[in-house]
Amino acid sequence: MEVTPSILTADFCKLGETLDDAVAAGINWIHMDVMDGNWVVNKTITFGPALIKSVRERLGNDVFIDCHLMISNAEETWNQYVEAGVDMVIAHIEAVDDFPDLIRKIQSTGTQIGCVLNPDTPVSKVIPLLPELDLVLVMSVVPGKGGQSFMPQVEEKVRELRSAIDIQEESGGKTPILMIDGGIKHHNAAIVRDWGIDIAVVGSGLINETGSISQNLEEIQKALEGDQSTH
């Protein structure tokens, strides 16, 4: 299982240094959480295409960048994120009226597309889209709601998606990446790996004041290897 940092927990005055540290630690995928102050429950505003463009310019083309759009108008603004240089746009199934149309439009630009579902959204909403999707993201917290812990009850959802993706692959179809986001740290990374997750988004578990990104990533990797010792 790979790990990708969410930069929301970074000090934005030091964002360039944080990104450099992440790349130096061996990370090659950056997850960028976009909130518009409207769609998420706590009305948080984060950042938009301008910052993403700066991140792309800082990192060059060797690092994969996705943007997780927690916004109400993804169908109208997705092209701004493509123009900013993202490799993948991830949009919420709950916030898009015509997801098949969004898939077609985004993929026509050569950009990948992912679909994200909230903890209480049934997997059945996403299954019909699997043949065309590049990624499925399962939220293990409610987007934009502060002070939450990892929700283990999403296990059934993850396992159902893992099974559907594997069946699709065995029949010659696409193999969308399966991602999880929300409350992932070293103590539960191995749990979600065993559920069948390909990539885990980690925020404060990677970017914090207690250790460097390299040290925190090493702790997660040790946990994944079954070594619970700390550095």
Task: Print burial letters for 28-63: b (CB count within 10 Å at least 16), e (below 16).
Answer: ebbbbbbbbeebbeeebebbbbebbbbbbeebeeeb
Strands 2-5 and 199-202 come out as: parallel
User: Any idea what the Cα angle at residue 170 is, between residues 194 and 68, rounded to 5°?
Assistant: 55
Angle at 161 between CA 196 and CA 105, to 5 degrees: 115
Between CA 79 and CA 195 the distance in angstroms is 33
User: Is-contact 19 7, C-beta < 8 A?
Assistant: yes
Which entry of 33, 36, 66, 87 is annotated as an active-site residue? Answer: 33
Of 97, 134, 181, 227, the catalytic one is: 181
Instruction: Report the sign of the C-alpha dihedral through residues 200, 49, 62, 211, in that order.
Output: negative
What is the C-alpha to C-alpha distance for residues 78 and 76, in angstroms, rounded to an integer? Answer: 6
Phi, psi of 8 (to 5 degrees): -60, -30
Does the active-site annotation cover 33? yes
Residues 6+ apart with CB under 8 A from 10: 18, 207
Task: Kindly report the number of other CB atoms within 10 A of residue 15's CB atom.
Answer: 16
The catalytic residue positions are 33, 181
